[in-house]
Structure 1
Amino acid sequence: MKLSDSREIRAEPAIVWTAILNPEVLKACIPGCQSMTGSVAEGYEAVVKQKVGPVSATFTGLVQLSDIVEGRSLRIVGEGKGGVAGFAKGSADVRLEPVEGGTRLSYDVEASVGGKLAQLGSRIIDGFAKKMADEFFTRFQEAVEGPDEEEAAASAAEDAPKKGWFKRLVGG
């Protein structure tokens, strides 16, 4: 399965770059991520719980960052084993470019599965992979750029997780 897309993020490229290298941001953005330990240089060990169609599994695996071109691009590669459910592997080539008002983040994702998961059929797997990629990059965008003014007023009245927490943390 292959997927390409891009997003306009209302934050300077330096802030977006710092966020994509931050393990707390990655953990918060990966749907179902229960834990993540490690570093950019050595890679991360992650535990992710997901339900794909009728199959529910907890995947343990590694996430590596490679092909790093400081401030411009990198490759995120992950592989997880889910016991009898099988395995999942994927990669995302991520590119950043400055645009008026912020940063364009473009990505090309490839994903594959094996074992019981592969028996679900490509339509279910492709839909799930697209949903996971969309959710990751939506969460990433929200963490970095924060809410618009209407959302900010609405969430100030709630105890909802605050959008833009990373941007505020680095003073963007």
Structure 2
Amino acid sequence: MDLTGSHTLNAPVATVWAMLMDTDILARIVPGITRLEKTAENEYLAIAEIKLGPVSGAFTGTLSLSDIRQNEGYTLHVKQNSKIGNADATVSIALNALDDAQTEISFNGNARLSGLLARTGQRVISGVATTLTKQFFANFEQELATDPATHS
């Protein structure tokens, strides 16, 4: 399953970058994440509760960052396991400063699903991925609006 898209945030690139690198903020803005715990440099234990159409489950796995380029982007690798199946995703995240106050985040990657997740159907999973992406950016915007002074 392909994961691609972009979104413009009303914040400077350095602010967006700092937020993307902050474990506590990520735990608040990534949909479904109930816990994100640092296990090593740029590696995390991630626990999530996700509902995918008629299927829901608790996922446990890893989240790691590689190819880190400050204020430009990184590669995100997520590997999650659950009773309803497994997900393995690699996504390149890129930041582009549109001006001093706006940053475009673009992402491009893919996810491989197995088990019941894979059998749920491509259309359902694609719809859920789109919904989760929209929720992530809505949460990001809300986090920016909550206390912009701490993020500038």
Aligned residues: 151
Corresponding residue of 1:20: 20
Unaligned runs of 5+ in 1: 147-162
* Structure 2: tracts of 5 or more residues without a match: none
Deviates more, 1:18-27 or 1:128-137: 128-137
Q: Distance in 2 between matches of 1:52 and 1:8?
A: 26
Distance in 1 between residues matched to 2:9 and 2:54, nearest whole Å: 35
- Structure 1 position 42, deviation (Å): 4.2
In the TM superposition, 1:11-90 aligns within 5 A as 11-38=11-38, 41-83=41-83, 85-90=84-89
Aligned equivalents of 1:23, 1:48: Cα separation in 2: 14
CA root-mean-square deviation: 1.7
Cα distance in 1 for partners of 2:45, 2:131 equals 22
- Percent identical among aligned pairs is 27
Q: What TM-score comes out, normalization by structure 2 length?
A: 0.90
The structure with higher relative contact order (CA 8 Å, sep 6+) is 2
CA change 1:97–1:3 in 2 (3 A) is same
SS in 1 for 2:138: helix
Q: CA deviation at 1:107?
A: 1.4
- Residue identity opposite 2:92 in structure 1: D
Counterpart code for 2:14: A
Greater fraction strand: 2
Task: Please tell me whether Structure 1 or Structure 2 has the larger radius of gyration of its CA atoms.
Answer: 1
Equivalent residues in 2 for 1:120-139, closer than 5 Å: 120-139=120-139
